[in-house]
Structure 1
Amino acid sequence: MNRRNFITNTALTATALSLAGTQAWATPQPKNKLPQWRGFNVLDFFSPNPAATRDATTEEHFEWMHDWGFNFVRVPVAYPYYLDIDRTKDIKPDDTYKINLKAVEQIDALLEKAHKFNLHISLNLHRAPGYCINAGFHEPFNLWKDQAAQDAFYHHWNFWAKRYKGISHDKLSFDLLNEPAMREDMNNQLSKSSAVPGELYRKVAKGALDAIHKENPERIVIADGNEVGNKVIPELADLNISQSCRGYMPGAISHYKAPWAMKDPEHAPEPKWPGQVGDKYLSRTMLEEYYKPWGDLVQKGVGVHCGECGCWNKTPHKVFLAWFGDVLDILNQHKIGFALWEFIGDFGVLDSRRTDVAYEDWHGHKLDRELLKLLTKHA
């Protein structure tokens, strides 16, 4: 090969390698199929008893969320809230079909208020026929074992799909079931629990998906992670269903001294972040390992959102913020949005009743400004 041909071939090879490198560099990385929504849970319909509800979320509350830079509201609903039943007696399977339209109109009104401020609503059945992560209401059957419970579950989602058929998927999504698990006794919160068998979860989720998409094929549908929201559900990956993780790991931080989450809350080891807590060293590395399967799911083209996150008010504020900063940062690295549990209340940015916070007065509420700054940093 003469010198001229050598130079020409070398130049062509270099150009080809350069173009190949440029092309590889320019190849877009998979992005989260879901928008990176950021916002709050509001608990207007969280209780199965309408008489035990909290103060209503107002237009002004939604305006604050919008003005602070948030765009998402998850609405956990207990299905008995909107039933027309005799609440002095245990509910029967047939009662689960007795929908009270006046109660439903209250949910309609909440959606309308939020949509005035361009907030996306995720409607979630926190308690569904035959299952809830919490006790406090007698379930007449078991969602995972009884076809009658599954049929009622599909009926409720078909009802909501019909009612909100005309609302754009940009404004409304459906979150099928809060924090599923296979529990031995549906009416005993402390009974033994485990993951729902994957194929069973698929059957129930697909039944609800079909009931929803029968009315509106564009509706975004989300399934909470298995084993109380913690585990990716590979059996759903080929369905048109996104998945929702949680921002509570480790519970020694997020639920310190919580009586509903710990067997001996008064003797729980003092939380540190990072640091040795009980028999475990808690650190950012453990969070990165915990969220890796969720990040991998995003890379596979499945939408992922963190439907709940936050920390009860007994954890020292500095520890909470240090830990939560890592949680939000890791979620952001995976392009996963989040919803704080809750807006107003013990986990919230307002009126959390912490004893170690210098609250700021905010229109009669006590605002945790440091927490808000951390949230808005990622909003």
Structure 2
Amino acid sequence: MKMFRLCLKWCIGGMVFIGFHADSFAKEKVMNPSGFEIHRGVNLSHWLSQNFGWSPKATFITERDMKFIASIGYDHVRIPIDEAELWDTTGKQIDESFTYLTNCLDWCGKYKLRAIVDLHILRSHYFNAVNEGGSNSLWTDTNAQNTFIHLWSDLSGRLKQYPVSMVAYELMNEPVADNPGDWNKLIRTAVSSLRTLEPNRVFLIGSNRWQSPGTFPALEVPENDRNIILSMHTYSPLFFTHHTASWVAFKAYQGPVHYPGQVVSDSDYHSFVKQDSVLIHVMENSREVWNKQKLAEEQLPAIKKAKELGLQLYCGEFGCLPHVDRNERLAYYRDLISVFDEHQIAYCNWEYKGDFGIYTFDFEKNVSLEPDLDLIHILTGN
């Protein structure tokens, strides 16, 4: 049983509300010798990665945010970083950005949060390139691969000061190689190189093609390395979680979607989709039935892989846009968290601030508004 105590009152933007802090978590076996123990976390997106200029970096994530995150029951944060945000085109470190990163890690230490530093986007690799008319040179360009290894060597030089029980490295976000063997080869090279610098640091490794659970059978993990966590992502069913998102192929569909149950009803499919030949192609699976059982079944390949290797399984990204019925959205989160808990899968929701965020955000005024207490309760148990 999880026991929580009331720890403090917060006043943010003139709003006073009650925060909680976890007295204890359900104790699962720590699967790595370095003691990097994580259970529930949140992504600090759109700060040092995919920065859309919503707010100055100096104010978008502050010590106050980290104190708040710890107070509501999260035990870690995932920090996406982009090559272009931390290094200029000559490979020189951008001191200001590195200062933001190390300040955040210092705050994590102060508030007893763990942190995952996630190399999210490279100049040679972007997880959504194929959907935006681009391409990735990482898999065919030896120089790009060497740069990838060098970036991690450079990061290690700045971050190895932090305890291995507090900070972990996620080697790359959502690799998308035509051949999974290309990613497996790069994993071996990167881990071998980094282990000479940090023999006890915990690395997070995901499967090829967006870290989807279904691609885990093809993932090859370095042998005899216990300081590895397997990382998957899930946004299924995408037709529900990304309803009307501007960056998806089915964005033109404006009809209703549902969870649990058949995501797009037969009548809505025929009313909205059959009129559009493009939608017919991209929404061929939109009438599938999704529920808690289906969510669990989707994750089985990743669960099986983790059990075979005796490694911890982690879901580093999941979320649902607030463009759907609120009760159904909360039901989706509730079912997914239940699946994670039943299979002892640590997790990190996407995201803290942003479209998917636990904070509502005014994109016109570039300010945070208020936390979604119902969603926070589902995600943290408070």
Whether TM exceeds 0.5 here: the answer is yes
TM-score after normalising by structure 1: 0.76
Normalising to structure 2: TM-score of the pair?
Answer: 0.76
CA distance in 1, matches of 2:368, 2:139: 45
Partner amino acid for 1:77? I
Separation in structure 2 between the aligned mates of residue 32 and residue 315 of structure 1, nearest angstrom: 37
2 CA distance for matches of 1:229 and 1:46? Answer: 18
Structure 1 residue 294: Cα displacement: 1.9
Q: Paired residue for 1:46, among 43, 46, 49?
A: 49
- Deviation at 1:234? 4.1
- 2:220 corresponds, among 215, 232, 236, to 236
Aligned residue identity for 1:40: V
Q: CA deviation at 1:140?
A: 9.7
Identity %: 23
CA distance in 2, matches of 1:122, 1:327: 22
RMSD: 2.9
Per-residue deviation, residues 114-150 of structure 1 (Å, max 9, x unmatched): 2211111100111024101245999996111111110
Q: Secondary structure at the match of 2:360?
A: coil
1:32, 1:317 → 2: CA distance?
36
1:264 deviates by 3.4
Q: Provide the residue aligned with 2:114 in structure 1.
A: 120
Q: Contact 1:78 / 1:128 at 8 angstroms: preserved in 2?
A: yes
List gaps (5 residues or longer) in structure 1.
Answer: 1-28, 86-94, 183-195, 355-362
Are residues 1:280 and 2:288 paired? yes
Contact between 2:207 and 2:219, CA under 8 Å: does it hold in 1? no
Structure 1 runs (4+) greater than 6 angstroms displaced = 48-52, 136-141
What stretches of structure 2 of length at least 5 have no aligned partner? 1-27, 265-286
* Structure 2 contact 42–76 (Cα < 8 Å) conserved: yes
Deviations 1:275-316 (A, max 9, x none): 122321222222111111222123220221111111112122
Do the aligned partners of residues 247 and 121 (structure 1) sit closer, same or farther apart at CA in structure 2, a change above 3 Å counting? same
Residue 164 (1) aligns with residue 173 (2) = no
Q: Which amino acid aligns with 2:150?
A: H
- Residues 31, 299 of structure 1: 8 Å contact kept: no
User: What is aligned with 1:12?
Assistant: none
Distance in 2 of aligned mates of 1:137 and 1:272 = 27
Correspondence for 1:375: 379
Do the aligned residues in 2 keep the contact of 1:47 with 1:53 (CA within 8 Å)?
no
Give the letter for the 1:255 counterpart.
Answer: H
Cα offsets for 1:144-178 (capped at 9, x unmatched): 11111100000001111122223111110001111
SS in 2 for 1:306: strand
Q: Separation in 2 of the partners of 1:123 and 1:233? A: 25
2:49 counterpart letter in structure 1: F
Compared with structure 1, are the counterparts of its residues 141 and 349 closer, same or farther at alpha carbon in structure 2 (3 Å cutoff)?
A: closer
**Superposed displacement of residue 256, structure 1:** 1.0
**Distance in 2, Cα, partners of 1:32 & 1:220:** 11
SS of residue matched to 2:356: coil
For the pair 1:204 / 2:186, whether they are aligned, the reply is yes
Pair 36,197 (structure 1): closer, same or farther in 2 beyond 3 Å: same
| 2:205 alignment partner in structure 1 | 223
Tell me what 1:14 maps to.
none
Does residue 340 (structure 1) correspond to residue 357 (structure 2)? The answer is no
